């Protein structure tokens, strides 16, 4: 190579290693984040081989933090938080306090200063957004009550950490143990007034600056940022829109840091939160996702570069204590808190398992603590080691909670073994009916079993999967023709609407054979798969065909490949939406150019087939 290119080599090696190890982690059913962290360890100075540039990696990581926090802000939902505020807010605050106390105790035992011990405890108290949401999504729990509680709990933790990112530098600036520089505005006021503001004054000035930034974002940003994006969207240029989203995220974060002295992470979070109110927020999230994911990977790689594997040998006991606080201490605290609010044991177990890990905010706090001279590098290594181990153990935490629930259920039911109670427990739980997973929820008494979980007794009926834009039209037609049918839907909101309309509905994911059993698929005459997800549709068709071979299965697809695959898995008729749109257009054109009769929707001949040439004769 004619010249040295540390930036290119750092990005290329980091992404390639992250891809390889992330794929390996995914193969072993672990979050790819584990692979990214290990990739950083391999590219760091503490392992042999290639060593990435130690100056460039942190700057690339800062871009990752900005885009990561921008994404968190985009998905921040005040409405979701308010719906579960009664348990999420006090529960998260108590759990953060308990975990911070445990971390402070461990840091004190290791001889660290007060500030470093508190930063260490805070870093152990907050769960990873990436890991928690992925775990809930895999188990189809995001839309359930327990999923909303877990997400609300996570939002409160994130907001608490955002506040910590503001207060820690302010506190460090007057701490004898910290190396943080004195906040300029506070220093100027001290000289002007001839007073020592102290920690209270400095924190007050910091909060005042943050309030000014927040006020500016709420008053000006709420109008200007959406207006800019709408103007860009009207140009029709996708490239400009994507560039505009990135410019807003990075520009607001940089301006917040330079003008108001707040962290880049806080500025990016508020930029995303303001943008989330716009109707273009979904598109903004989609456009920024590729670059956000790429730099988020580099963030985790850079964090892994800081980890010294020798701590596994030099300090095994402190590392075990750190993992104990994360996996056991936090879980027990959240379990007791949820039960104290009289929630079911299934909810307590799900939240306990979800929070038994730490992630991106912990890394940000650790890096900030070391930078300010509050936290020793040993503490950062313990945080990183604890994060990697806790993320690896998180799937096992769900399995352990599942085993514990079944054991307690067996004792409560008078000696029934966990194995014999597994099916009954799964039947009584919404989450378990969503998809086969290691976490069925608590089995209530027979009187408490929800209406939507009782097995359908009708026969010769139609089973409709999904009640969205397509499914609702099919359902209305079935209802008007007096065809008996049952709907399987995984949205609680739609389940409520179906109940109010007097339509038989089952809450859950039809990819589960158990849910299909509730719909009495064995005695059904037809199955309509109206969901757009071809992967789940294939699983549903395959299981339904195995249960009821003569069943008529009608599905939807978006491509010829999906049509072929769905037919291979048992679908009889597959309808491609784009083809039906084209046929509708051709039909309308034929009325003008070839004098063909015009049909109203109710009179139009049946064209629900594959290619037009294979259409069945109209009955």
Res. 535: pLDDT tops 60: yes
DSSP output for 540-608:
HHHHHHHH-TT-EEEEEESSHHHHHHHHHTT-SEEEEHHHHHHHHHHHHHHHHHS-PPP--TTTSPP--
Range ranked top by mean pLDDT from 302-316, 325-339, 400-414, 595-609 = 325-339
CA distances for 147 relative to 88, 165, 236, 450, 490, angstroms: 11, 27, 37, 18, 13
Name which residue leads in pLDDT, 450 or 78.
78
CA distances for 83 relative to 153, 430, 488, angstroms: 11, 19, 25
φ, ψ of residue 236 in degrees (nearest 5): 80, 5
Res. 444: pLDDT tops 50: no
Q: Which of 65-79, 223-237, 272-286, 411-425 is predicted with the least confidence, judged by mean pLDDT?
A: 411-425
Confidence label for 86 from pLDDT (cuts 50, 70 and 90): confident
Beta-carbon contacts of residue 76 (< 8 Å; ≥ 6 apart): 155, 269, 272, 273, 276
Q: Give the C-alpha separation, 539 to 506, whole Å.
A: 18
Question: Which residues make beta-bridge pairs with 487?
Answer: 464, 505
Domains parsed from the chain with CATH numbers: 6-398 (1.20.1530.20), 452-614 (3.40.50.720)
State the pLDDT at residue 201.
66
Tell me the three state secondary structure of residue 462: strand
User: 123-140 burial string, b = 16+ CB within 10 Å, else e?
Assistant: bbbbbbbbbbbebbebbb
State the pLDDT at residue 202.
65
φ, ψ of residue 519 in degrees (nearest 5): -80, 5
Burial of 479 (0-12, 13-18, 19+ CB in 10 A): middle
Q: Which of 262, 227, 291 is nearest to 71 (CA)?
A: 291
Q: Give the C-alpha separation, 256 to 237, whole Å.
A: 28
Confidence label for 594 from pLDDT (cuts 50, 70 and 90): confident
Q: What is the mean pLDDT of residues 312-326?
A: 91
Res. 433: pLDDT tops 70: no
Given strand 505-507, what is the order of strands in its sheet? 505-507, 485-489, 462-465, 526-529, 552-557, 573-576
Res. 215: pLDDT tops 90: no
Res. 608: pLDDT tops 70: no
State the pLDDT at residue 427.
41
Instruction: Return the H-helix or E-strand segment holding 488.
Output: strand 485-489
CA distances for 233 relative to 227, 230, 284, angstroms: 10, 5, 10
Confidence label for 83 from pLDDT (cuts 50, 70 and 90): confident
Structure tokens at 178: 């910290």
Q: What is the mean pLDDT of residues 199-215?
A: 74
State the pLDDT at residue 95.
93
Give pLDDT tens digits for 109-140: 999 988 899 999 999 999 887 677 667 766 66
Helix axis angle for 222-234 and 264-276, nearest 10°, is 70
Res. 596: pLDDT tops 60: yes
Tokens 């029709």 map to which residue? 236
CA distances for 512 relative to 139, 261, 434, 507, 556, angstroms: 11, 52, 7, 11, 19
Q: Which of 62, 237, 269, 74 is nearest to 159 (CA)?
A: 269
Res. 446: pLDDT tops 60: no
Q: Give the C-alpha separation, 551 to 463, whole Å.
A: 10
SS (H, E, C) 78-118: HHHHHHCHHHHHHHHHHHHHHHHHHHHHHHHHCCCCHHHHH
State the pLDDT at residue 2.
52
Beta-carbon contacts of residue 41 (< 8 Å; ≥ 6 apart): 47, 304, 305, 307, 309
Q: Percentage of the chain with pLDDT > 90?
A: 21
State the pLDDT at residue 195.
59
Q: Give the C-alpha separation, 274 to 286, whole Å.
A: 16
Name which residue leads in pLDDT, 529 or 67.
529
Name which residue leads in pLDDT, 324 or 157.
324
Res. 551: pLDDT tops 90: yes
Q: Give the C-alpha separation, 596 to 298, whole Å.
A: 61
Range ranked top by mean pLDDT from 235-244, 450-459, 560-569 = 560-569
Range ranked top by mean pLDDT from 279-283, 370-374, 491-495 = 370-374
Give pLDDT tens digits for 572-581: 999 988 888 8
Res. 496: pLDDT tops 80: no
Do 423 and 453 touch, CB atoms closer than 8 A? no
Tokens 């997973």 map to which residue? 437
Q: Give the C-alpha separation, 278 to 275, whole Å.
A: 5
State the pLDDT at residue 477.
92
Give pLDDT tens digits for 387-397: 888 888 887 88
Q: Give the C-alpha separation, 465 to 511, whole Å.
A: 10
State the pLDDT at residue 249.
85
Range ranked top by mean pLDDT from 148-162, 166-180, 398-412, 574-588 = 574-588
How far is C-alpha 507 from the chain's CA centre?
21
Phi-psi region of 559 (alpha: psi -120 to 50; beta: other; left: phi over 0): beta
Confidence label for 545 from pLDDT (cuts 50, 70 and 90): very high
Question: Which residues make beta-bridge pairs with 175?
Answer: none
SS (H, E, C) 139-159: CCCCCCHHHHHHHHHHHHHHH
Name which residue leads in pLDDT, 232 or 441.
232
Range ranked top by mean pLDDT from 6-20, 94-108, 212-226 = 94-108
Structural Rg of the chain based on CA atoms: 28
SS (H, E, C) 476-541: HHHHHCCCCEEEEECCHHHHHHHHHCCCCEEECCCCCHHHHHHCCHHHCCEEEECCCCHHHHHHHH
Q: What is the mean pLDDT of residues 286-300?
A: 78
Name which residue leads in pLDDT, 469 or 321.
321
Name which residue leads in pLDDT, 538 or 2.
538
Range ranked top by mean pLDDT from 131-140, 293-302, 330-339 = 330-339
Q: Which of 570, 586, 588, 590 is nearest to 578 (CA)?
A: 586
Four-residue CA torsion sign, 258, 263, 267, 268: positive
Mean per-residue pLDDT over the chain, rounded: 78
State the pLDDT at residue 615.
41
State the pLDDT at residue 435.
37
Q: What is the mean pLDDT of residues 54-71?
A: 78
Tell me the three state secondary structure of residue 507: strand
Confidence label for 323 from pLDDT (cuts 50, 70 and 90): very high
Q: What is the mean pLDDT of residues 377-396?
A: 86
Q: What is the mean pLDDT of residues 300-315?
A: 83
Res. 374: pLDDT tops 50: yes
State the pLDDT at residue 23.
92
Confidence label for 203 from pLDDT (cuts 50, 70 and 90): low
Four-residue CA torsion sign, 318, 320, 326, 329: negative
Going by their DSSP bridges, the two strands 485-489 and 462-465 should be labelled as parallel
Q: Give the C-alpha separation, 587 to 189, whole Å.
A: 77
């Amino acid at each position: 190579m004619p010249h040295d290119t540390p930036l290119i080599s750092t990005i290329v090696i980091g992404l390639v290693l992250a891809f390889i190890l992330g794929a390996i982690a995914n193969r072993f059913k672990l979050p790819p984040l584990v692979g990214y962290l290990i990739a950083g360890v391999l590219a760091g100075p503490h392992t042999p081989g290639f060593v990435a540039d130690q100056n460039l990696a942190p700057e690339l990581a800062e871009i990752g933090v900005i885009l990561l926090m921008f994404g968190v802000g985009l998905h921040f939902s005040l409405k979701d938080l308010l719906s579960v505020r009664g348990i999420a807010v006090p529960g998260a605050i108590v759990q953060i306090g308990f975990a911070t106390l445990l971390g402070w105790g461990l840091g004190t035992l290791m001889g660290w200063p007060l500030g470093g011990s508190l930063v260490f405890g805070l870093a152990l108290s907050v769960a990873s957004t990436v890991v928690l949401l992925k775990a809930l999504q895999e188990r189809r729990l995001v839309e359930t009550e327990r999923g909303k509680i877990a997400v609300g709990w996570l939002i409160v933790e994130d907001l608490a950490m955002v506040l910590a990112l503001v207060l820690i530098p302010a506190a460090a600036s007057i701490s004898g143990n910290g190396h943080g520089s004195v906040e300029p505005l506070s220093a100027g006021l001290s000289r002007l007034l001839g007073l020592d503001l102290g920690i209270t004054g400095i924190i007050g000035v910091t909060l005042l600056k943050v309030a000014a930034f927040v006020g500016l974002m709420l008053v000006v940003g709420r109008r200007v940022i959406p207006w800019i994006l709408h103007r860009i969207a009207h140009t029709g240029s996708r490239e400009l829109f994507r560039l505009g989203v990135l410019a807003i995220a990075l520009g607001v974060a940089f301006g917040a840091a330079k003008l108001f002295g707040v962290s880049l992470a806080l500025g990016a979070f508020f930029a995303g939160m303001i943008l989330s109110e716009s109707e273009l927020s979904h598109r903004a999230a989609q456009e920024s996702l590729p670059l956000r994911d790429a730099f988020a990977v580099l963030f985790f790689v850079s964090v892994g570069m800081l980890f010294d594997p020798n701590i596994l040998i030099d300090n095994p006991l402190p590392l075990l204590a750190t993992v104990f606080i994360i996996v056991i201490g936090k879980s027990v605290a959240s379990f007791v808190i949820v039960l104290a609010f009289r929630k079911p044991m299934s909810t307590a177990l799900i939240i306990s398992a979800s929070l038994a890990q730490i992630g991106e905010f912990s890394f940000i706090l650790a890096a900030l603590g070391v930078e300010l001279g509050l936290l020793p590098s040993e503490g950062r290594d313990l945080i990183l080691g604890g994060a990697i181990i806790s993320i690896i153990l998180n799937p096992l935490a769900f399995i352990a909670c599942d085993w514990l629930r079944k054991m307690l259920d067996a004792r409560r039911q008078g000696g029934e073994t966990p194995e014999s109670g597994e099916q009954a427990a799964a039947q009584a739980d919404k989450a378990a009916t969503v998809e086969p997973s290691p976490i069925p929820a608590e089995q209530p008494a027979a009187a408490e079993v929800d209406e939507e979980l009782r097995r359908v007794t009708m026969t010769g009926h139609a089973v409709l999967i999904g009640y969205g834009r397509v499914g609702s039209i099919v359902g209305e037609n079935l209802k008007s023709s007096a065809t008996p049918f049952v709907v399987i839907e995984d949205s609680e909101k739609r389940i409520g609407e179906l109940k109010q309309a007097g339509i038989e509905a089952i809450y859950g994911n039809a990819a589960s054979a158990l849910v299909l059993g509730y719909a009495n698929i064995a005695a059904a005459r037809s199955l309509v798969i109206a969901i757009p997800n071809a992967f789940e549709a294939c699983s549903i068709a395959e299981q339904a065909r195995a249960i009821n071979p003569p069943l008529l299965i009608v599905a939807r697809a978006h491509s010829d490949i999906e049509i072929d695959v769905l037919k291979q898995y048992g679908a009889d008729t597959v309808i491609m939406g784009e083809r039906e749109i084209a046929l509708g257009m051709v039909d309308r054109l034929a009325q003008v150019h070839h004098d063909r009769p015009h049909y109203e929707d109710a009179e139009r001949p049946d064209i629900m087939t594959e290619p037009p040439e294979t259409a069945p004769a109209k009955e």
